[in-house]
Amino acid sequence: MDTAADVMRKGDLMKPLVVSASAVALLAVTAYAKCPPDSVLVGALCVDKYEASVWEIPATNPTTTKSNAGLIKKVQKGTAVQTNLTGGGATQISPSSSCTPSFPANFPANGQWTPAAGLTPPSPGVFAVSILGVHPTACITWFQAEQACTASGKRLLTNQEWQRAAAGTMEGVVGDNGTTDCNTDSVHDAVNTGSRANCKSNYGAFDMVGNVDEWVADWVPRSTACGSWSIGSSDLQCLAGADTSGEPGALIRGGQLYDGVAAGPFAVSGINSPSLSQSLVGFRCAR
């Protein structure tokens, strides 16, 4: 027979556990306190450290005939490096230097992919990767960028998240120094990811200004004109007016390599539709 003390203890166990809002927030931050090596912690979000390069990964290594399932898991866990990819027979798709090789036929511009042979679970076989020392992928539509992020277990950043992650990145300048400044006005090509040491946000994300413009998740009524900022910034601001026909606008952020002082952490444009595919528009992902 239970004693009175036993009954009291059982009653305590049946009481609902009350957790304060601050404790829940702490647990959420703690869960994300360590991001994979391919990303940096921004609040409770892991943002890719580098602009995305897209890689086509075959189901089996063409040299060894072994399954590439382990390589794909490395990509999805954020631990893959360039030697892993090339060693597995992966091919970088549409680097900004030339946009060739182009995306495979099963991964069309509208993002309505068909499964690549031999991959389980079903996948388009193209994956967005955040690695050092490669040209970022460009000539990619918003639809393809979102699906490439998804295949890697990630997604596009929202406009708000992108703005947060870019904090502290240097402004674009006319005649950047060609070595450490953001790539905004010194060369006529994108540079390798992470190669401009001073082009880094306070959180450690590289190349958020210049190099290639970056798609973010948000759609808006397609803009028809450009305006200006009232916060002391010369950055591009093309969210003026609204088209009432045709496709919506998809936001791109940061500016690109020809923008000079118009590139920067506030640069934004909604003029382009999500079906745009252009040699100076790329993206980055987050998880």
Q: What is the pLDDT of residue 6?
A: 53
Nearest to 286 by CA among 135, 158, 182: 158
Pairing of the two strands 237-238 and 268-269 = parallel
Q: What is the pLDDT of residue 98?
A: 92
- Residue 18's pLDDT band, with cuts at 50, 70 and 90, is low
* pLDDT tops 80 at residue 11: no
**Pure H helices in the chain:** 4-14, 21-31, 69-77, 82-87, 142-151, 159-165
Mean pLDDT of all residues belonging to the chain: 91
Q: What is the pLDDT of residue 97?
A: 87
Q: What is the value of pTM for the model shown? A: 0.88
Per-residue pLDDT tens digits for 160-175:
999 999 999 999 999 9
More confident residue, 97 or 20: 97
Measured in Å, how far apart are the chain's first and last C-alpha atoms? Answer: 53
CA distance 228 to 224: 14
What is the mean predicted confidence (pLDDT) over 6-12?
Answer: 49
